[in-house]
Structure 1
Amino acid sequence: MGKRSEIWSVAFFLILFAGALALTFSWHGKQDQFTRKGEIWADKAGYYMYLPATLLYQFDVEKAPQDIEKQTGSGFIINWENQTFETKYTCGVAVLLSPFFLLAHGISLVFSLPEQGGFSPLYHAIVNIAAVCYLILGLILLKMVLAKYFSQLTQYLAILFIFIGTNLLYYALADTLMSHVYSFFLFSLFLYYTQKFLESKTYSYFFLIALSGALAILVRPTNLLLFTVFFFLDLTGWRDLLKRIKIFATPKYLITFILVLFLVLLPQFIYWKYVHDSYLFYSYGDEGFTNLTNPKLFEVWFAPLNGLILYSPSVLIILAGIVFMIWRRNLNGWFFLILFLLLSFECASWQTWYFGCSFGQRSFVEYYAIFIIPFAFLLESAINQRSRILKTVVLLFLVAFSCYNIQMTSIDNKCFFGSTWDWNNYFRQLERAGIPVTTSPVISFSNDFENQALIGDEVVSQEIVRSGMYSATFDEEHEYCCMAIKYIKDFPQDNFPEMVKASAWVFYPDSVFSGATLVFSVEREGNSLKWEGIDLTNLITTPNSWQQVSAAFTIPEKIAGDTKLLIYFWNPVKKSIFIDNLEVRYE
């Protein structure tokens, strides 16, 4: 690289770094800490907990701020009986974050700043800085990887658009304590040193491969697919594959890998022993790959509920690049295709295939470090074409997909409050993002009880279901279920609804009993303006079968914007009933 190229490279990444920092602080400056949109909340608090527990409390639960687990969204728990801090998440993110945590601790001590047990504003801010640093380091490594294959222009375009055109943008700048940007850095590091090792067979490069790979597993155990890169990237044929397997199995390399993996995972083994009295422990309880025989592939790719392509359409460029590589007889194309399908199957087999409150399919974020190669391959091919029309078309798609991603990211609608295929809800998200769409004027709500964001405190069951894995039910502590709430202010003034139409599928397992009711209620400031209920025995006569119930209710005229319309089921008898596929339409 010439001196001029080095200056351009430094300037490019400095601008990217400054821009990312400005955006993340602008983003979080609008959010309150200790809320759903804060840096340290829920899952993120579960990743973070290791740092204050180890470095500030020395695992003494008495030193933790009062109710800190509740203030941070219950991402971890303090077990007062056993005197332990408990989280289901591994400690990899905390390991990578530790230098920044220590920096915040040092600044707090030097300037006598309140630490709030490691949860002060400074500790929240340092998380954002850490995420941006790992993002930029990962992108720098990827530029060096791409330099082997592509021109300078392609390298810069690929790096820019893989960042702003995918949900990497969201997980680097908004959800800065989720594991994905840290995994992205480790994937980039692994990819870079794999490339270097395959060229030179230098032992130190293999050590760094083992270290980055082991850390990636510590951050997220499902990152195991990363190791396919070592065996299949830039493969020339079967002999080359056998050669790589033999190299890996060489005692010098194999022992190094095992030792590094063991030492990196050792802190996790010790933590599990401390909490669960076992060095090996599956901390996710009943969660697992329950969809292995029925993977939700189409949902993972296309569903309004966090579908990959709907939220990161730049993935279409990646897929086109893979197809083009295969067409050009580049063996890497087959590797990338199989990796994409394996990753999709892994996600689709997980019990919560949409991964809770997420922006798109977040499990793909770290793999963009690998898929940037077919992404860049298509860009390079387009750039080298003589046809200006083709170049313009590819550029327009890149810009359009990136603008779409930026707009969708900007509304910060991380949780999709709709059922799996709720297109109306998805189109309303597009409208809020300023993306023009043609939709029906009917506002609707649907709940198939698969989406945790919609379930809340309701009781769900896998015992009897009509579709998917879950249905709603009742128990001794829950006599209400399936709540659908809309505020009058949510409706456009020129399309104010007159009716509410509700339908659901209901299953009485033993006998049809009276008392359970489908309710429509209009409430304002705690007062009931209207209450109307229909006994389900008027709609259902046969037990032990799914039957659809439907009802229509009139919305009162001239009611204030803070009035809410509620549809729900009320079962004061608390006998067993199962409900699935609730649909509510406001017309």
Structure 2
Amino acid sequence: MKNRYSFFAFCIIGIVLLYFRISYLDFKSETPLKVTTWDALGYYMYLPSIFIYQDFTELKWFSDIDNEYSVSGGCVYQARKHKNGNYVFKYLGGVAIMQSPFFFAGHLIAKNTNYKEDGFSPPYQYAIAFCVLFYCILAIFLLRKILLIYFDDVTTAITLLLLILATNFIQYVAIDGGQSHGFIFPLYVLVLYTTLKWHQKPSLVWASLTGLIIGLATISRPTEAIMLFIPLLWNTQTKELAKAKWRLAKRYKKHIAYAVLFSFIGVLPQLIYWKIVTGSFVYDVGSKWDFLTPHLRVLFGWEKGWFIYTPITIFFVIGLFFIKKFPFKNSVLTFCLLNIYIIISWHIWRYGGSYSCRALVQSYPVFALPFAAIIQKISFKKWRFIFYILGIYLLFVNLFQIRQYNKTILHYDHMNRRYYSRIYLNPNPSPLDMSLLDTDERLYNEKKYHKEIIVDIDSTLNIQITPYSSNLLIETKIRQDLLTDKKLDNWIKVESAIQVNQGFSSSYINSELQIGDTIKHNKIRLFSPISQNGQTNEYAFYMKIPDYFKEGFFRLHISSSGSEFEGIVKNIKITYINKRLSRDRD
């Protein structure tokens, strides 16, 4: 079989994507699948509002839907009220256009079964979830075909496996498939293909399709308009070829005109929508940009850095140095650098809940070209097996982290270096590990220290708290001998078993160490990734005692930030930890 390695790689990818999609279905729930939530809801709302409710200006239907399915995230930010009184969708409609064939299939199934024809019952959710999977699997097959034009079979196979399975692609196609990223991914594959075909044999069809794809991508996410540079700079890697390219463009002016026309046709549905709803063909959705101060933490930050959590992507960028002789050199180099610059310049640089940097997922087909270039270069080196082993390791790490992410152990918004170091490839993180989500104070090698229990309560405390208030659990006096203990590692360790029956997602355990008028605070969430609502959960954390501390009070509270709290504190243990005493007793 010709090109069998890349074909097997494609099959493996398809199986893995289907496995992750199916494994995250909750068949015991009344809503086994819910993908049209949060941002995904904003892209999807066009379809039910237009084709089911015929109401996309007042949205009278939405409050009942949100009450039943809880899709907005608690705050309806997906639509804003215009000054004329109409609601305007925050997100553009290109994704909804791509979802529409499967939406209609889901509607037909709901119509002929006992499910509600409301746009949000299970048939619609399955339709959207498997829609993006279907598009992306076809796109990966076509991407394989493109890569095989420039690279050998083994290089193509390795590129596809690592591009898909060692990155956050799985998360935003097979799990959070309602987001825009998985729908735009195929558009990048298509624009690469139509660009390639036009340069092989110019035709009105390829020119028109290229323009239409760019237009549709633009009304999916406006920043995707920069994919224009792909056809524009293709085959311009030398001065002679650049001159020939512009001669070709002059020769086929009609093709260029058709490309522009079809680009306009691609964006026209959005313009019509804005005109109907706002009275203007153009509407500012309110995005803010920091182009003069881009956020490098998008790439390198411990919060959700692209190079930190999916480090195989470092090779995507390094590969840009190895595409000199390829016809896509200028188009890919220009696009990739500009794309990264735009992504890291968005004002909300965390991009909401995200595993690694999700805003770059859709452009992975373009990054596949420099990535394949460096893989092919490495394949001729003696040390290539080191890279292959590294690739397998990073693939495994990624699959492990996707599992962690969907348990919120790898947190969607609150990651930091200390916490990540404790959960990295850790299948059973401890309550002390969980505390590092909220504090950077952690004592290592506790066995080397002397421990003195100063509070040990086994009796049950029933706690009820009103919103935005707290309940004092413990107040105890702490004293240490400065002559003995000054400038040493002195700590307080708190351990407790708590059952939260109400207000779980907004409850905390607060600690205070008061030294005169100075108070040191710690605040640890009770809704940690390894805790469960209604269950007895173990909590533990450290507080470092300041060097100058001699005498003061230590207090422990339960607090609630937004809802009523009801729970049971089953035990509390507070330990004073001192290194000098340990040495003295030895």
Normalising by structure 2, report the TM-score: 0.71
The whole-number CA distance in structure 2 between the counterparts of 1:446 and 1:557 is 15
Query: For 1:167-209, what per-residue CA distance to the aligned partner results, in whole angstroms no more than 9, with x for missing partners?
Result: 1111111110111111110000000111111111122111111
Contact 1:44-1:178 at 8 Å conserved across structures: yes
Q: Which residue of the partner structure matches residue 288 of structure 2?
A: 288
Instruction: Specify the alignment match of 1:354 in structure 2.
Output: 350
Equivalent pair of 1:321/1:377 in contact (CA under 8 Å): yes
Change (3 A) 1:264 1:492: farther
Q: Does 1:530 align with 2:473?
A: yes
- Check the 8 A contact 1:69/1:77 in 2, yes or no: no
In 2, distance between residues paired with 1:43 and 1:496? 49
Residue identity opposite 2:104 in structure 1: L
Cα distance, 1:127 vs structure 2: 1.4
Structure 2 equivalent of residue 424 of structure 1: 418
Choose from 27, 35, 38 the match for 1:39.
Answer: 35
Aligned to 2:231: 230
1:192-246 per-position Cα deviation (integer Å, ceiling 9, x unaligned): 1111111111221111111211111111110122121113334331343344345
% same residue: 23
Is residue 158–residue 379 contact of structure 1 (8 Å, CA) maintained in 2? Answer: yes
> Residues 225, 529 of structure 1: CA spacing in aligned structure 2 closer, same or farther, 3 A cutoff?
same
Of residues 72, 87, 90 in structure 2, which corresponds to 1:88?
90
* Range with bigger deviation, 233-242 or 152-161: 233-242
**Cα displacement (A) at 1:125:** 1.2
Match of 1:145? 146
Q: Does 1:113 align with 2:115?
A: yes
**Structure 1 counterpart SS, 2:24:** helix
What amino acid does structure 1 have at the position aligned with 2:276?
Y
The match for 1:192 is 193
Q: 1:102 to 1:567 in 2, by over 3 A?
A: farther
Shift of 1:59: 2.0
Distance 1:532 1:194 in 2: 71
Q: Is the 8 A contact 2:219 2:267 kept in 1?
A: yes
- Given that 2:400 and 2:425 are in contact with CA atoms closer than 8 Å, whether structure 1 keeps it comes out as no
**What do residues 500-520 of structure 1 show as CA deviations (whole Å, max 9, x unaligned)?**
xxxxxxxxxxxxxxxxxxxxx
Match of 2:299 among 296, 301, 324: 301
Structure 2 gap ranges (5+): 453-459, 466-470, 477-489, 501-506, 513-520, 525-540, 544-586
2:572 alignment partner in structure 1: none
* Residue number in structure 1 paired with 2:510: 566
Secondary structure of 2:473 counterpart: strand
Distance 1:172 1:187, change over 3 A: same
Give the Cα separation in 1 of the matches to 2:313 and 2:79. 37
- In 1, the alpha carbon distance for the partners of 2:5 and 2:53 equals 46
1:69–1:75 CA contact under 8 A, matched in 2: no
Preserved contact between residue 80 and residue 88 of structure 2 (Cα < 8 Å):
yes
User: For 1:556 and 1:304, how far apart are their aligned partners in 2?
Assistant: 27
Query: Aligned-pair distance for 1:430?
Result: 2.1
What are the equivalent positions in structure 2 for 1:133-282 lying under 5 Å apart? 133-245=134-246, 247-248=248-249, 251-282=253-284
Give the direction of change, closer, same or farther, for the CA distance of 1:143–1:268 in structure 2 (3 Å limit). Answer: same
> Residue by residue, what CA displacement relative to the aligned partner does 1:308-332 show, whole Å, maximum 9, x if unpaired?
1112111122233223445xx6675
Q: 2:312 matched to 1:314?
A: yes
Q: What is the letter of the counterpart of residue 210 of structure 1?
A: G
Give the alignment partner of residue 586 of structure 1, picking from 542, 556, 563: 542
- Is 2:49 aligned against 1:48? no
**One-letter amino acid of the structure 2 residue matched with residue 186 of structure 1:** L
- One-letter code of the match for 2:292? T
Shift of 1:333: 5.4
Match 1:27 to one of 12, 17, 24: 24
Query: Could you say what secondary structure the match of 1:219 adopts?
Result: coil
Deviations 1:259-281 (A, max 9, x none): 21222212111221232221100
* Aligned length, in residue pairs: 475
Q: Indicate the SS of the match to 2:311.
A: coil
AA in 2 matched with 1:373:
L
Q: Which residue identity does 2:337 align to in structure 1?
A: L
1: CA distance between counterparts of 2:368 and 2:494? 55
CA contact under 8 A between 1:40 and 1:48: conserved in structure 2?
Answer: yes
Q: TM-score, normalised by structure 1?
A: 0.71
Displacement of 1:282 in angstroms is 0.9
Mapped to 1, the partners of 2:496 and 2:4 lie a distance apart of: 65
Q: Structure 1 counterpart of 2:379, which letter?
A: I
1-structure distance, mates of 2:301, 2:232: 33
Unaligned runs of 5+ in 1: 448-483, 500-521, 534-551, 569-580
Taking the aligned partners of 2:171 and 2:362, their CA distance within structure 1 comes to 12
Secondary structure of the 1:394 match is helix
Superposition map of 1:508-527 within 5 A: 525-526=463-464
- 2:390 is matched with 397
- RMSD of the TM alignment (CA)? 4.1
1:336–1:561 Cα change, 3 Å: same
**AA partner of residue 354 (structure 1):** R
Post-superposition offset of 1:67: 3.1
Question: Which residue of 2 is the match for residue 383 of structure 1?
Answer: 379
Kept in 2: contact 1:408–1:433 (CA 8 A): no
Deviations 1:469-489 (A, max 9, x none): xxxxxxxxxxxxxxx9x9xxx
Q: Distance in 1 between matches of 2:417 and 2:28?
A: 28
Contact preservation (8 Å) 1:442, 1:586: no
Cα deviation 1:384-422 (Å, max 9, x = unaligned): 44x3xx231111111111111111111223754437xx3
Q: CA deviation at 1:90?
A: 0.4
How far apart in 2 are the matches of 1:138 and 1:398?
Answer: 23
**Contact 1:523/1:529, CA 8 A, preserved across alignment:** no
Q: Any conservation in 1 of the 2:353–2:413 contact (CA below 8 Å)? A: no
**Offset of 1:50 from its aligned partner?**
0.5
State the shift of 1:162 in Å.
Answer: 0.6
CA distance in 1, matches of 2:51, 2:234: 40
Q: Quick one: which amino acid aligns to residue 295 of structure 1?
A: P
Q: Which has the larger radius of gyration?
A: 2
Hey, what's the Cα distance between the residues in 2 that align with 1:182 and 1:377? 26
3-state SS of the aligned residue for 2:293? Answer: coil
Compute the displacement of 1:559 (Å).
5.2
The Cα shift of 1:427 comes to: 2.5
Measure, in 2, the Cα distance between the counterparts of 1:224 and 1:91: 15
Residue 138 of structure 1 aligns to which amino acid in structure 2?
Answer: A
Q: Which has the higher contact order (CA 8 A, sep 6+)?
A: 2
Separation of aligned partners in 1, 2:226 and 2:80 = 33
Mapped contact 1:47–1:94 kept (Cα < 8 A): yes
Distance 1:320 1:31 in 2: 46
C-alpha distance in 2, partners of 1:526/1:496? 37
**Offset of residue 97 of structure 1:** 0.6
| Cα displacement string for residues 533-563 of structure 1 (whole angstroms, at most 9, x for unaligned residues) | 9xxxxxxxxxxxxxxxxxx996766654659
Alpha-carbon offset, residue 160 of structure 1: 1.8
